[in-house]
Amino acid sequence: MNLKWTAALAACVMLASPSGAETVVVTAAQMVDVLAGREVAKPQITIVNGRITAVGHQGDAIPEGAKRIDLGERTMLPGLIDMHVHLTGDPHFSGYTGLEFTDNFWTVVGVANAKRTLEAGFTTVRNVGSANYDDVALKQGIERGYIAGPRIVPATYALGSTGGHCDATEFPPSITTSTVNIANSPDEYRALVRKVHKYGAEVIKVCMTGGVLSKGDSVGAQQLSYEEIKAIVDEAHMLGLRVAVHAHGTAGINDALRAGVDTVEHASLADEESFKLAKSHGAWFDMDIYNDDYILAEGAKNGMFAESLAKEKMVGLKQRQTFRAAHAAGVKMLFGTDGGVYPNGDNARQFAKMVEWGMTPLEAIQASTKSAAEALDKTADVGAIAVGRYGDIVAVDGDPLRDVRLLEHPSFVMKGGDVVKRP
């Protein structure tokens, strides 16, 4: 970027900003420019009232009265984005082991996980399923400064069909469970989309096929008809919301893509047809490929259903092979971990898996920054260290393009110009 121009811009913004505006200038040895796809030496970032006003180089003018943060030899990156989390989930209570807790226990779990997630460098998350509108509550608590946490794009309840992945299938018929998220026709799904939108959903999550952790369904089985998913997509898009579908099975993935969904979660059994559909519709794959390691190592100890472990063994390796093939075929990929199914806060462990299965470190980082912001429709706010976006910055002790594992231990985290974690 032209140096004079950035200095001039910083100066105008200073003039334009109200007096008392908080200005922070951050410098480091280098920065990953995820938009240009390269590293930049000696960057200098100016943040005024939480938004970036200048991206220049050390030596550029520094606004008077600015607070200075020099990160020394470290590398700066944009705040990371996890496109698939459940902040109110804790995998240590799997299967039936969570039933000893009262309903709002999980809200409290969410408070702790929000802090952990932010401190791990994830300044934005898409929460794709929680009960009781908990993710909206967390978002409100974070925005009002009651608790620490990332920016949240909430889905509220994950929608699904009777007996499907997002229904409570693990109880006998005499036990009554909540069915607020369950529908069984296009019209009923339209009504559900309207309802969750009314109460704060900013993205719609749908359970399109069976799953690993759900009891009594087969991972590959489709659970909504094409007409149902089409009604959801039409309704959501009309309201300006995007649609994320949980889908492992091939037929469900392909019907969801034909219906125009925006992101396919898991995508384990996607085939060549799925890749073609995803590319022609501009849809993203959001594949939680670290999960398999955690589930196979800890699932049994955590009380996971035996049938879930068996399903994981069927699908885990296949999902990683599909990840490699989808990326090679040119499908747009996101970074989503399913945090909650493995410990929230360990999200960054997935970067190394994505590199092991075919991405460059830069591509894996872009999946969690640039591309994630595109998939959220928030390129004005997050996903890059760029003028206009929030001052969401992480720093690591070395070069993440050589060793992507450095992201597992960020030494500095800033959200909206506020330091969350310092070296």
What are the residues binding ligand ARG (CB under 6 A)? Answer: 211-213, 266, 288, 291-292, 295, 312, 315-316, 319, 338, 341
Q: Minimal CA–CA distance to 418: which of 49, 33, 12, 4?
A: 49
- DSSP assignment letter at 97: G
- φ/ψ of residue 84, rounded to 5: -150, 90
Query: CB of residue 157 vs ligand ARG: minimum separation in angstroms?
Result: 15
**What letters, b where the CB count within 10 A reaches 16 and e where it falls short, cover 283-314?**
bbbbbbbbbbebbeeebeebebbebbbebbeb
For ligand ARG, the closer of residues 249 and 383 by Cβ is: 249
Task: Give Cβ neighbours of residue 411 (< 8 Å, ≥ 6 apart).
Answer: 74, 395, 396, 397, 421, 422, 423
Least distance between ligand ARG and beta carbon 289 (Å): 7
Q: Which residue in this structure is represented by tokens 């410990």? A: 343
**Nearest Cα residue to 268 out of 196, 207, 318, 202:** 318
Please, what is the minimum distance in Å from the beta carbon of residue 180 to ligand ARG? 20
Q: Minimal distance in Å, beta carbon 395 to ligand ARG?
A: 30
Please identify, using beta-carbon distances, which residue of 39 and 338 lies nearer to ligand ARG. 338
Q: Which position's Cβ is nearest ligand ARG?
A: 211
Task: Name which of 295 and 394 has its Cβ closer to ligand ARG.
Answer: 295
The CA-based dihedral angle spanning residues 270, 275, 281, 284, taken in that order and rounded to the nearest 10 degrees: 70
| Closest approach of ligand ARG to the CB of residue 127, in Å | 13
- The whole-angstrom separation of Cα 33 and Cα 28 is 13
Minimum distance of ligand ARG from residue 297's CB (angstroms) = 13
Please, what sign has the CA dihedral across residues 373, 379, 385, 389?
negative
Is the Cβ of residue 255 or residue 292 nearer to ligand ARG in the bound state?
292
Q: Are 412 and 422 in contact (CB under 8 A)?
A: yes
Least distance CB 319 / ligand ARG (angstroms): 5
Q: Which is nearer to ligand ARG, 39 or 288 (CB)?
A: 288
DSSP 126: E
C-beta of 191 vs 306, nearer to ligand ARG: 306
CA angle 137, 141, 143 (to 5 degrees): 115
Backbone angles phi, psi at 158, to 5 degrees: -80, 130
Question: DSSP assignment of 340-353, as one string?
Answer: TTB-TT-TTHHHHH
Residue number with CB closer to ligand ARG (212 or 414): 212
Nearer to ligand ARG by Cβ, of 46 and 319: the residue is 319
Q: Are 337 and 84 in contact (CB under 8 A)?
A: yes
State the minimum distance, in angstroms, from the CB of residue 390 to ligand ARG: 29
